[in-house]
Structure 1
Amino acid sequence: MKAYPTVINFTHVFRITFRSTTLVLLFIVASLFGYSQELEFKNSTLEPGSPASGNDGAVYRFPSVTKDVDALVTIINRSSSLVKLVAIDLTSSGFDKAWQPQVTYNNGTTPKGKSDWYMEFEVAFVKKGTTVTIPVETVDVTALDLDGNGGSLSEYVTFFNQNSFTLESQTQVTVTSVNEVLSGYAGKIPGKKFSGPTTNYTNIDPTATKVMVTNKYKEVARFRVRAGAVSGGNDKSADRMYSFWFKSFTYNDPVEGSLPVKLSSFNATKKNDAKVSLDWATSQEINASHFVVERSFDGKVYDEAGLVFAIGNSNVSNSYKFTDELRSKDAAVIYYRLKMVDMDGKTEKSVVRIIRNAEQKETGVAKILTYPNPVVSELRVQMPVSWQNNAVNIEVLNSSGQIVKRQMANRAGQTEVVNVNDLGNGIYFVRASNGTESATQRIAKMK
């Protein structure tokens, strides 16, 4: 949102001075007695022995956020080396009691084309003066003023492993399920990505509930949050301030988002008989009705490919399958996603899975497909059908033919992900082999 003069008034609408668009995340921590207590994030210092300020792994201590409790905020990682931390807690504007990191992308200006970036933090509650974590019975984490710049840029936040969330009934926030491998955790961790509109909502207004979302955690000592944005073109507002304030809120017409299901996995695999097999699993279902399998041939417009009924209510793992016939489909690439629907009609969408429909051959050998190209951080390598569910070795070679990265997929899916964020700019070659066949693709790496 736009910048406004600083007015500190704790009973009215807040305004802050900042030269770029501002996103405010308000953190609410409910006490053991059920009422909301405010935590104060002030006077942070870099922990002794920590990496340099702004680097991944840097740890900052906020002393006495409440009685006998400190908070440790750690920079876990970032989507690109272009993402920089300007300040861990901006004090020249905003709210004195809030944690206000300032994050910038590409020196504040996005290039032409689509840009997507974030910085990931971990917030941990610890005993005062120590690193011993203390679980908090209930933590309500509210993102306020989740909007855009009036152009092509919109903000988003991603919270992992929350128990539920709350939105306004007429929200402008889009919810997407994520399921990712996070450093320090075993296996994939589910989460929710909340994307605001490109519309710029003026003022940092706690009554603008259409661009707010509250995530609830129970018995939590630490949690992960990503603060990011996406731009569709050249924007000069990629210098963001995020204000995290531990204080409660009230929605006008709240909608509880315990959500139909917690999706633990979702996979799509092309079969040799012109069929796509989709399988997914849930770890929890609450008042769930059904799943709609949605399909797209351009990645933009989706139609319904089928419907699968849910178990309904469950706290154990449940597995589902759906087969899509492709004999009449001539699209080279097909996109799939799940729409999860509960008994009250609330919906949530999964991540998108991509299937290559046409089997490409190059001099009699199956060809791999790599994208995006150029690539910044995560390269996706699509495998031939005959290679899937078999061991595949993937290597990245520099222009001199030296192997700079190697990974093995013991049971390759149709798409394998290779993290190339640590590679320098330049031309590389991706070589994949199943032991009897090999294929190579040329890629360009950029920061």
Structure 2
Amino acid sequence: STANEMLTNGLNFENYTVQSGTPGEVGTVYHFPDVFTDVDATITIDSLVNGARVGNIDDNSNGLGYKGAFQPYIHSGGVIGYSYVVFSFRFYKKGTTESAPLDIVNASALDIDGNLNLKEFCEVRMGSGSTATYMSSTSDLSVLQMLTGQFKGENILGIERSGIDTSAFSNMFTTTNTAITGFSVAYGTNTLIPTNGARQFSLYMKGFNYPDAATLPLELLSFGAMLKKTTVELNWITLWEKNLSHFEIERSLDGRTFQQAGLVFGVGNSDFKNSYSFKNNISELSAPIIYYRLKLVDQDGSYGYSDIRAIRISNSKNEVMTVMAYPNPVVNEVKITIPDSWQGTEVKYDLFNANGRVVKSIRSAKASQTEMINMSDLGRGFYVLKASNGTEVAQQKIIKN
């Protein structure tokens, strides 16, 4: 079948020409002929973020990687934090401008590595119905579902791996979807020291059989944690469920080592929202912060993890109308702990720079005790976080390094 052929042989990206625009600039369209039987493709540079630029759109000249893979050279943006390039892929019936839906598309991001000061990442956006598969035992890579149909694999170990190899499962992940006419990919780096150096990336349009395979389910719509006296109440909602078996509630006292704290069975298969809850008594625990995550386990044994939620334990007997930000100073993500009485209510978070301008604004319809704000894209300096539940306001100074 064509689906089996796509899994085995994949799509082939070679012999491109510039269809329109100037090479390396936003809006430039590259034409790739015969990526599959009677199918052509285009790749467009959608955006260049935080100074990132394209050095070579598809480089196989040094013999690294795979000739049929899409292998751009991307220069980091000379900033601290994230810089990246967004590419969009479109499939057409050969020699026409008529869209060609493909039975199955596998996009495998290979060789996502880095060093102490730079970590590579790839974010694949294939839309509703897509899944991400990776090796669950990897310590090199973090693979997360950002939004429905949007998966991000980012290096976390900071070790350079030689070559580009499809057997290096620790540094790769595969995103898959069916009956699509296109998708988009963001490729770039997260840097601690500004650099304009070039990195070669490789997107191989094939599927692979991963050892210790984990597949990120797409079901989770929201996940929150609230502290009520000596009990942590976890609430989550699934948007839909496909072959879901159960949820394992995992707890950690250090944010690294997690142990199972409970189990909740899922509906299994549904096309509508389902709500779940779990209560955990923490009266015997003395840790200042307790971390929770969900392990979503499918009926075939594959699984994925939710984002981590943190609960901060206060020794104060009288609640003070303040918010607490940590770590402070912050490099990437800052955690915001709100007053107990605000939990479960609508809370707005505004982040002001030193000039008094709002640089980030987030609204949580049903706030958890601890929310996270990504500040990796902001410059160094002083900021003020203002949090409000509609009737009460609290603020906290934050230093960004």
Q: State the TM-score bracket (shorter-chain normalisation).
A: 0.7 to 0.9
Counterpart CA distance in 2 for 1:300 and 1:211 is: 20
The equivalent position to 1:438 in structure 2, one of 366, 382, 393, is 393
The equivalent position to 1:390 in structure 2, one of 313, 332, 345, is 345
Specify the alignment match of 2:102 in structure 1: 136
Specify the alignment match of 2:199 in structure 1: 240
**Residues 1:347 and 2:303 are matched in the alignment:** yes
Q: How far apart are residue 249 of structure 1 and its match?
A: 6.2
Q: How does 1:173-322 map to 2 (within 5 A)?
A: 176-180=143-147, 188-189=148-149, 191=151, 193=153, 201-208=161-168, 211-227=171-187, 239-246=198-205, 248=206, 251=209, 261-322=217-278
Counterpart CA distance in 2 for 1:423 and 1:168 is: 32
Counterpart CA distance in 1 for 2:372 and 2:134 is: 33
Which amino acid in 1 is paired with 2:274? N
Counterpart CA distance in 1 for 2:300 and 2:6 is: 31
TM-score, structure 1 as length reference = 0.69
Specify the alignment match of 1:9 in structure 2: none
Structure showing greater relative contact order (alpha-carbon pairs closer than 8 Å, 6 or more residues apart): 1
Kindly tell me: are residues 135 and 295 of structure 1, through their superposed partners in 2, closer, same or farther at Cα, counting changes over 3 Å? same
Counterpart CA distance in 2 for 1:37 and 1:61 is: 19
Kindly tell me: are residues 36 and 262 of structure 1, through their superposed partners in 2, closer, same or farther at Cα, counting changes over 3 Å? same
TM-score, structure 2 as length reference = 0.75
Counterpart CA distance in 2 for 1:131 and 1:380 is: 48
Specify the alignment match of 2:321 in structure 1: 366
Does the residue aligned with 2:286 lie in a helix, a strand or coil? Answer: coil
**Residues 1:356 and 2:323 are matched in the alignment:** no
The share of aligned pairs that are identical, in percent, is: 30
Tell me whether 125-134 or 237-246 shows the greater mean CA deviation: 125-134
Does the residue aligned with 2:341 lie in a helix, a strand or coil? Answer: helix
Specify the alignment match of 2:31 in structure 1: 62
Kindly tell me: are residues 403 and 177 of structure 1, through their superposed partners in 2, closer, same or farther at Cα, counting changes over 3 Å? closer
Q: How far apart are residue 132 of structure 1 and its match?
A: 6.4
Counterpart CA distance in 2 for 1:434 and 1:169 is: 39
The equivalent position to 2:74 in structure 1, one of 103, 111, 121, is 103
Counterpart CA distance in 2 for 1:36 and 1:46 is: 26
Deviation string 1:382-418 (CA, Å, 9 cap, x unpaired) is 3222123334343333335455555554544434455
Counterpart CA distance in 2 for 1:433 and 1:318 is: 29
Tell me whether 69-78 or 415-424 shows the greater mean CA deviation: 415-424
Kindly tell me: are residues 83 and 374 of structure 1, through their superposed partners in 2, closer, same or farther at Cα, counting changes over 3 Å? farther
Q: For the aligned residues, what is the CA RMSD?
A: 4.4
Kindly tell me: are residues 327 and 120 of structure 1, through their superposed partners in 2, closer, same or farther at Cα, counting changes over 3 Å? farther
2:109, 2:202 within 8 Å by CA — same for their partners in 1?
A: no
Count matched residues: 394
**Residues 1:336 and 2:296 are matched in the alignment:** no
Tell me whether 266-275 or 154-163 shows the greater mean CA deviation: 154-163
Kindly tell me: are residues 264 and 238 of structure 1, through their superposed partners in 2, closer, same or farther at Cα, counting changes over 3 Å? farther
Kindly tell me: are residues 35 and 192 of structure 1, through their superposed partners in 2, closer, same or farther at Cα, counting changes over 3 Å? same
Counterpart CA distance in 2 for 1:153 and 1:420 is: 17
Counterpart CA distance in 1 for 2:179 and 2:224 is: 35
Kindly tell me: are residues 76 and 307 of structure 1, through their superposed partners in 2, closer, same or farther at Cα, counting changes over 3 Å? farther
The equivalent position to 2:124 in structure 1, one of 159, 163, 168, is 159
Counterpart CA distance in 1 for 2:57 and 2:183 is: 17
Q: How far apart are residue 42 of structure 1 and its match?
A: 3.9
Which amino acid in 1 is paired with 2:110? L
Kindly tell me: are residues 280 and 69 of structure 1, through their superposed partners in 2, closer, same or farther at Cα, counting changes over 3 Å? same
The equivalent position to 1:427 in structure 2, one of 382, 390, 393, is 382
Q: How far apart are residue 267 of structure 1 and its match?
A: 1.8
Counterpart CA distance in 2 for 1:375 and 1:412 is: 22
Kindly tell me: are residues 379 and 205 of structure 1, through their superposed partners in 2, closer, same or farther at Cα, counting changes over 3 Å? closer
Q: How far apart are residue 439 of structure 1 and its match?
A: 1.8
Counterpart CA distance in 1 for 2:400 and 2:374 is: 11
Counterpart CA distance in 2 for 1:33 and 1:434 is: 51
Which amino acid in 1 is paired with 2:124? F
Unmatched 5+ stretches in structure 2? none
Q: How far apart are residue 293 of structure 1 and its match?
A: 0.8
Deviation string 1:197-238 (CA, Å, 9 cap, x unpaired) is 66655443445556554332101122233445678x889997
Which amino acid in 1 is paired with 2:146? N
Counterpart CA distance in 2 for 1:195 and 1:122 is: 22
Counterpart CA distance in 2 for 1:350 and 1:53 is: 36
1:124, 1:222 within 8 Å by CA — same for their partners in 2?
A: yes
